[in-house]
Amino acid sequence: MSESLDPSSYRELLRRSLAEDLGAGDITTDTIVPAGRRARGQLIAKAPLVLAGIDPFLEVFRLLDPTAVAEIGRKDGEELLPGDSPVEVHALARSLLSGERVALNLLQRLSGVATLTRRFVREVARTGAQILDTRKTTPGLRGLEKYAVRVGGGRNHRKDLAEAVLIKENHIRMAGGVAAALEAMQPAKGRVAWMEIEVTNLDELRDALAHRPDDHSPIVILLDNMQPTQVRQAVEQVRHAEDGRRGPAYDPEKRIRLEASGGITLANVRQFADAGVDWISVGALTHSAPAVDLSFEIEPA
């Protein structure tokens, strides 16, 4: 799970965003600023934040002006304080003025995701729990937002529907119950990165344990919308089941893992971590992270 991004993965998004923002052309800039004039732009944090997305930020200006160059002082993942200036760009003045909004829109969003992730990660420090994202990402930004989660210290859940099996409530309803759904998945076992099933109460958990495929795909059980006390009981139940499996062939790498999700906030995340789950997934990391405040000050070179 690498923390860098291939520029070819976001260049098309930047092109579309520029087309969207430029429309028939930036009439203000093109009228006020002569074509060949060069300038420098300084990125400035206006609030505490975790930086994420410096590369796509700069790529915007490179698309508008291939001669753009940058002095990079701070890297993705570093924490900035108000007034910090992580990067300075030198380029044609028009490209700085016309690209500013697109570049900032993306950077403020990605840094917002990284900043919120970092706060969740801090809350669960020194428990065994990891903070994960979900597939509740902005349409078109999946790869970038999952990168920002990693930058913030989080771990990525499935990148798409093909990476792992996750049997959710709707699948269970279509299959006719937890047992039937697990049964139907038999042919897929061993062919996927991991297999996971969502349960919403302790009875369903019992069913899932009873019908877990005895195979080589790691298995995860997702405890959805349970309270911390219930989660603690679920952890006990699973430990008990694991104890029953121990023996000479027991491979601790293949133990059942537990994930908590649903209704988790900065205020209560620690309780879930203390309850003993392995993973805590938080949709808000990507669907509701507020943008962080950054400005871009442009002046004559």
In the chain, the DSSP E strands lie at 38-45, 49-50, 69-72, 79-80, 87-92, 130-132, 165-167, 195-199, 219-224, 257-261, 279-281, 294-300
> Does residue 65 have an active-site annotation?
no
- Of residues 115-134, which lie at the interface with its own copies (CB under 8 A)? none
Nearer to its own copies, 249 or 267 (CB): 267
Residue whose CB is less far from its own copies, 38 or 254: 38
Q: Does position 267 bind its own copies by CB under 8 A?
A: no
Q: Which of 83, 187, 244, 247 binds its own copies (CB under 8 A)?
A: 187
The token pair at 171 is 């699948």
Among the listed ranges 36-44, 149-157, 213-221, 253-261, the one in contact with its own copies (CB under 8 A) is: 36-44
Does 101 participate in catalysis according to the annotation? yes
With CB under 8 A as the contact rule, the residue among 52, 181, 205, 273 that binds its own copies is 181
Which residue of the set 196, 224, 259, 278 is catalytic?
224
Q: What is the dihedral of CA 71, 103, 42, 290, to 10 degrees?
A: -120
Specify whether 75 is catalytic. Answer: no
Answer yes or no whether residue 39 interacts with its own copies by CB under 8 A: yes
Interaction between residue 13 and its own copies (CB under 8 A): yes
Task: Tell me if 149 contacts its own copies by CB under 8 A.
Answer: no
List the one residue out of 53, 47, 36, 64 whose CA is nearest residue 87. Answer: 53
Nearest to 283 by CA among 169, 143, 120, 170: 120
- Select 166 or 234, whichever has its Cβ closest to its own copies: 166
d(CA 116, CA 93): 33
Chain positions 44 to 103 lying near its own copies, rule: CB under 8 A, are: 63-64, 66-69, 71, 90-94, 96-98, 100-102
Taking CB under 8 A as the criterion, the residue among 3, 6, 7, 30 binding its own copies is: 30
The pairing of beta strand 165-167 with beta strand 195-199: parallel
Beta strand pairing status for 294-300 and 38-45?
Answer: antiparallel
Catalytic residues: 101, 136, 168, 198, 224
